């Protein structure tokens, strides 16, 4: 990638988007940062700072200490509930209105893309607001509406109303397979896209972070939006080096 000014990068990105037949977008936790949702690597501040999110976001951690993991998700759910879509989410929804075949593949477990108006979002890692039976007793997933359950919160997660097992968040933990249909759709999109916008991800978590590599191998132009470097930056043809809440609206302005 040639070093270029932000203005040049925006103009070049806009030219590729205007010419695109199929745009794919891969988002990570960075796109929600300006909505006040900490990025995944920083999902642990305050009393949670002594834990490693990669260790907590596992079935083993949940089996070892259901209350600890449940309480971590309740803490994060509280932050997501407070959050509103930021100008980056809004810009991506507007981009989809202008280019209706555009699809967002997100690693995020919040619903800020949908709240901003994006449709048919491909969610690779689940939905933090939903809970399911940890033993999938009625099939996978056995979703349960926690608001209909009363239980002793200090004892940890609520029991599944069907089998009594502890409920867990409906997210994909490390070591768990991603939802087959969502992953398949993401792979196909990466293979056919002629432009992939990669927004706010460190590009570390697989298989999600494989999507930009797959898109590149299939001839896509990779445009990264990130105020820092990531595992994707070396792959990117254009790097919009700034926060997505600023860069994406500016990209729309020059489109
Ligand atoms: C799988 C839900 C295979 C939970 C998440 C051992 C055993 C099994 C698997 C593995 C293993 N070792 C490695 C693996 C593979 C593993 C993996 O990739 N590990 C990594 C760490 C090496 N993957 C898995 O386990 C996956 N499953 O492989 O299954 C399998 C096969 C058969 C049988 C069994 C298993 C499952 C991975 C899914 C994990 N779940 N989330 C939860 O959220 O609690 S992933 C989690 O990380 C979040 O979803 C998050 O989105 C995601 C990725 O992180 P990022 O989004 O990139 O966020 P991060 O904080 O890292 O970066 C933020 C970026 O934003 C930064 O670049 C920053 O610069 C930028 N930024 C900051 N501010 C802004 C900004 N950008 C724009 N604007 C701003 N303002």
Residue nearest to atom 64 of ligand 1 (CA): 201
> What's the CATH superfamily of 38-82+131-171?
SIR2/SIRT2 'Small Domain' (3.30.1600.10)
Atom of ligand 1 nearest to the CA of 27: 56
State how beta strands 103-106 and 126-133 pair: unpaired
| Residue-wise DSSP of 123-176 | ESSEEEEEEEETT-BTBSS-EE-GGG----GGG-SPBPTTT-PBEEEEEPPBTS
Q: What is the pLDDT of residues 160-190, one digit of tens each?
A: 999 999 999 999 999 999 999 999 999 999 9
CA of 45 to the centre of ligand 1 (A): 18
Q: Write down the domain spans for the chain.
A: 1-35+85-125+178-255, 38-82+131-171
CA of 29 to the centre of ligand 1 (A): 9
CA of 231 to the centre of ligand 1 (A): 12
3-state SS assignment for residue 193: coil
Fill in the DSSP letter of residue 122. E
Please tell me the predicted confidence (pLDDT) of residue 41: 74
Question: Would you say how long the chain is, in residues?
Answer: 255
| Element at 104 (helix H, strand E) | strand 103-106
Residues of the chain with pLDDT under 50: none
CA distance 36 to 227: 16
Please tell me the predicted confidence (pLDDT) of residue 40: 78
Ligand 1 pocket test target in 109, 201, 209, 229 with most atoms within 8 Å of CB: 201
CB 111 within 8 A of CB 142: no
Count of beta carbons in the 10 Å neighbourhood of residue 72: 22
Q: What is the CATH number of domain 1-35+85-125+178-255?
A: 3.40.50.1220
Catalytic positions are 125
CA of 7 to the centre of ligand 1 (A): 31
Residue nearest to atom 73 of ligand 1 (CA): 30
Please tell me the predicted confidence (pLDDT) of residue 102: 98
CA distance 89 to 243: 12
Query: What contacts 150, CB < 8 A, 6 or more positions away?
Result: none
pTM for the structure as a whole: 0.96
CB 132 within 8 A of CB 168: yes
CA of 71 to the centre of ligand 1 (A): 20
Q: What is the pLDDT of residues 11-44, one digit of tens each?
A: 999 999 999 999 999 999 999 999 999 887 776 6
Atom of ligand 1 nearest to the CA of 34: 80
Ligand 1 pocket test target in 125, 177, 198, 240 with most atoms within 8 Å of CB: 125
Ligand 1 pocket test target in 206, 207, 242 with most atoms within 8 Å of CB: 206
């Amino acid at each position: 990638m040639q070093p270029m000014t932000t203005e040049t990068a925006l103009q070049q990105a806009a030219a590729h988007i205007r010419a695109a037949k199929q745009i794919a977008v891969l988002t990570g936790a960075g796109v929600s940062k300006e909505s006040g949702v900490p990025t995944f690597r920083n999902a642990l501040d305050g009393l949670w700072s002594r834990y490693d999110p990669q260790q907590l976001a596992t079935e083993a951690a949940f089996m070892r200490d259901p209350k600890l993991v449940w309480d971590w998700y309740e803490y994060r759910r509280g932050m997501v509930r407070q959050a509103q879509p930021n100008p980056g989410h809004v810009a991506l929804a507007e981009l989809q209105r202008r280019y209706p075949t555009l699809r967002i593949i997100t690693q995020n477990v919040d619903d800020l893309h949908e709240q901003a108006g994006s449709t048919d979002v491909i969610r690779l890692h689940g939905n933090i607001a939903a809970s399911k039976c940890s033993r999938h007793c009625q099939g996978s997933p056995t979703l349960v509406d926690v608001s209909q359950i009363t239980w002793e919160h200090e004892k940890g997660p609520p029991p599944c109303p069907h089998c009594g097992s502890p409920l867990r968040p409906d997210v994909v933990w490390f070591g768990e397979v991603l939802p087959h249909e969502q992953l398949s759709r993401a792979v196909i999109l990466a293979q056919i896209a002629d432009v992939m916008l990669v927004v706010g991800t460190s590009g570390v978590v697989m298989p999600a972070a494989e999507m930009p590599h797959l898109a590149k191998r299939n001839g896509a132009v990779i445009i990264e939006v990130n105020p820092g470097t990531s595992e994707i930056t070396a792959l990117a043809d254009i790097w919009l080096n700034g926060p997505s809440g600023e860069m994406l609206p500016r990209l729309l302005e020059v489109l």
